[in-house]
Amino acid sequence: MVSADDFFFRGLNIPGNTSNPQGSVVTFATVDQFPGLNTLGISLVRIDYAPYGLNAPHTHPLASEVLLAVEGTLYVGFVTSNPGDPNIKYKLFTKTLYPGDVFVFPQGLIHFQLNVGKNNAVAFAGLSSQNPGRITIANAVFGSDPPINIDVLTKAFQVDANVIKYLQGQF
């Protein structure tokens, strides 16, 4: 039996706990927490940022995101995709958002938000999938289980193994 509670989710008024190294936390209302979204192609998140807190560069493999700043000052940006020519630089688009400002992150692109104010910041975002997924770049690249082969990473980042091991050691 379907009831109204199947279409209802509670708790996006509660600030998330930002006591973590990034100083930010995402509270999800996606299909895992909110089964009524199934097949509807939409989900919602709340993002809290401590002062200088960062929602680290990440992608959503299956969704575009439209973010609304509601408190604080956020420096946000995304890096473009390109056809794959190594001689073409990826472009970075950035903007400083104040409450009421909106920015869109197209599907699959690397994006981030940094709280550049002295106070907490809050944003809400809509995503174009009930199941957007998330890949936090630093964690996926340097902190996967098992780790990515060090030869892959030294070559990709063009640094020696000690630098890579140091980076891996952070995760």
| 55 among annotated binding-site residues | yes
| 82 among annotated binding-site residues | no
- Of 169, 170, 168, 160, give the one whose Cα is nearest residue 142: 168
Chain positions 136 to 165 lying near a second copy, rule: CB under 8 A, are 136-149, 151-153, 155-159, 163
CB of 36 to a second copy, least distance (A): 5
117 binds a second copy (CB under 8 A): no
3-class secondary-structure state, position 55? strand
118 binds a second copy (CB under 8 A): no
Binding mask 27-46 for a second copy (x = CB under 8 A): -xxx-x-x-xx--xxxxx--
Using CB under 8 A, pick the residue from 17, 91, 119, 161 that binds a second copy.
91
Total number of residues that touch a second copy (CB under 8 A) = 109
- Of 113, 131, 109, give the one whose Cα is nearest residue 68: 113
Nearest-angstrom CA–CA distance, 90 and 80: 6
Helix pair angle (161-169, 150-157), 10° resolution: 110
Using CB under 8 A, pick the residue from 51, 52, 120, 165 that binds a second copy.
52
84 binds a second copy (CB under 8 A): yes
Using CB under 8 A, pick the residue from 57, 117, 120, 165 that binds a second copy.
57
3-class secondary-structure state, position 3? coil
Nearest-angstrom CA–CA distance, 93 and 79: 6
Using CB under 8 A, pick the residue from 64, 117, 120, 165 that binds a second copy.
64
| 71 among annotated binding-site residues | no
Residues with Cβ < 8 Å from 49, sequence gap 6 or more?
18, 23, 24, 55, 72, 74, 113, 114, 115, 120, 121, 122, 123
Q: Which residues are annotated as a binding site for Mn(2+)?
A: 58, 60, 65, 111
Q: Which residues are annotated as a binding site for oxalate?
A: 55, 60, 65
